[in-house]
Amino acid sequence: MKKYRIKDIKSNVNQIIPKYVHNQVYVKKYGTEAIKISLLKTVRNKEYKEESKPRAKKGSKNNSKIGCNVRRAKARVQEIVMCNEWEWFITLTIDSCKYERKDLKSWYTELTQWIRNYNKKFNIKIKYILVPELHADGVSWHMHGLVMGLPEEHLTRLQQGDNMSKSQLEKIEKGEKVYIWAPYEKKFGFCNFEPVRSKIAIGKYISKSIDLSAKKGVTEVNAHTYYSSKGLNGAEIIKVGTINQALWRKEDYGNDYCKVYWEPYSQKILTQIVGSIDNETTDMTQRKRE
């Protein structure tokens, strides 16, 4: 009997399974906010295996990878924002008398432990997504983000006559609700809490902080561009396949490799989109039948 080396077997498998598949359509549901349809000309086949390449060392600089990290982070932040039921839009700062404002990692480590203790003390479950942004000085940090699970009675609503910032006073004069989280201010520094009005608008706003930090020189390949608690919802893949009819309008984004369409979520629209897509039929499945 002829013996085969493992290397030969892997080689034969990859001859059967192509490295790429073509003309794929992905339909994703972003909570109750939106539907995303992606038409991809060529996609890396997940079934194809090849020898892994050594990863970049942590902290090493590579402009191409940094650009990819920024784009992926912005997309992921938008996804998390749209797919979860947030209650508060927040800004968190760091008091230089209490913590080193330049040391984001140490501050965040302290913050997460403090939130865990707070959850345990009050039997609640605070969840969050936070995007760090550099101050104008280029070295000090603050955070924009979203929170859910923190009851309103744990916050203090600001009224005219209270000690507050100019921006907070302007919002109150317009009739908007503005809060502070006193335990946070006592422990870490100034904060601002406002009820969420538009998740999509807030997602776009806090995503800009990722661009701003990148432009100001945050260039580590593995640097954190956002922080989030565990257990948050992500987008749900509803259908993968090939389009069987022309799409109804010009794409929201497009290039030589892909086209992306966004639609407001409704079950009726989702049903119509899914009905226009054939079941998944890739080069890989066709080759297996042969």
Q: What is the band of 55 on the pLDDT scale with cuts at 50, 70, 90?
A: low
Find, among 88, 229, 85, the residue nearest to 152 by Cα: 88
Q: 237 and 270 in contact (C-beta within 8 Å)?
A: no
The tally of domains found in the chain comes to: 2
* 77 is a domain residue: no
pLDDT for position 247: 62
Tell me the torsion sign for CA atoms 260, 266, 272, 277. positive
* 78 is a domain residue: no
Query: Are 265 and 129 part of one and the same domain?
Result: no
Helix (H) or strand (E) holding 90: strand 88-93
d(CA 131, CA 76): 12
* 76 is a domain residue: no
Q: 232 and 31 in contact (C-beta within 8 Å)?
A: no
d(CA 231, CA 233): 7
pTM of the model: 0.77
Q: 174 and 168 in contact (C-beta within 8 Å)?
A: no
Q: Which domain holds residue 46?
A: 6-50+239-289
Find, among 243, 229, 4, the residue nearest to 119 by Cα: 229
Q: Is the pLDDT of residue 282 over 90?
A: no
Residue 276 tokens read as: 């226009």
* 138 is a domain residue: yes
- pLDDT tens digit string along 3-51? 445 444 444 544 567 778 788 889 999 999 999 999 888 877 777 776 6
